[in-house]
Chains A and B, each alone.
Chain A
Amino acid sequence: AQSVTQPDIHITVSEGASLELRCNYSYGATPYLFWYVQSPGQGLQLLLKYFSGDTLVQGIKGFEAEFKRSQSSFNLRKPSVHWSDAAEYFCAVARSGGSYIPTFGRGTSLIVHP
């Protein structure tokens, strides 16, 4: 079965600074990978996804993520963080064939200081 590890429970950055949120997955083949964002009291919004092809994926709100097979990682990055980016971020992995059931990590809480 697939699994996801988000090693950082909380990340604090200053507004305007760069951001990298870590995600490591466990899956035997090439997975489908996702990043979602959740604002307080809200559902999850899809930021970006990777299925195949170019390993650098562009998403909404200026986010990007890079798939590194050798490191089993799919880290999320943003060059300049805005205060409105403060939220909970979830990485998810799904099998690339058969029944699709994404597995989510426990999330990383992003705190943005002015």
Chain B
Amino acid sequence: ETGVTQSPTHLIKTRGQQVTLRCSSQSGHNTVSWYQQALGQGPQFIFQYYREEENGRGNFPPRFSGLQFPNYSSELNVNALELDDSALYLCASSLGGQGNYGYTFGSGTRLTVV
């Protein structure tokens, strides 16, 4: 059973650019959630996808967008990058739209915006 895989592991972008982060969910999981974790903080919920549909969204602006594919992998896209977008971006997969079995997290993508 494979876990959650995220790519790339590290990324440096310039303010104003766009970035795409990728996540492969754990085998058998159909729900993917994305979190932003700033340094020294807990993860903040961005959005969740269940069977390719957005299933919930946190307090993030529209320039944060996502996709889930038929194989349940997912992308997080961020447009017009700002310095404050620098953070660890975590993807988590779970089984079922309610995810009450607990999440399996990937190791994250460290994004630095300069």
Contacts and interface: CB of A to CB of B under 8 A. Distances in A.
Q: Check if A and B associate.
A: yes
B98 interface: yes
A90 interface: yes
Contacts of A102: 45, 99, 103
Interface of A: 4, 32, 34, 36, 41-46, 49, 51, 90, 94, 98-107
B103 A42 contact: no
Given A99-B55, A106-B41, A45 B105 contact: yes
14 contacts: A4-B42, A42-B107, A43-B4, A43-B106, A46-B102, A46-B103, A46-B104, A99-B56, A100-B98, A101-B56, A102-B99, A104-B44, A106-B41, A107-B40
B97 to A, nearest CB: 7
A103 B35 CA distance: 10
Contact of B100 (A36, A45, A94, A105): A94
B97 A99 contact: yes
Interface in B10-54: 33, 35, 40-45, 48
B81 interface: no
Interface of B: 4, 33, 35, 40-45, 48, 55-56, 58, 90, 92, 97-100, 102-108
Contact of A32 (B35, B58, B100): B100
Contacts of B92: 43-44
B107 A41 contact: yes
A34 to B, nearest CB: 6
Contact of A105 (B42, B48, B99): B42
A34 B43 CA distance: 14
B26 to A, nearest CB: 12
Nearest to A45: B105
Contacts of B99: 94, 100, 102
A107 B41 contact: yes
A107 B88 CA distance: 15
Nearest to A98: B98
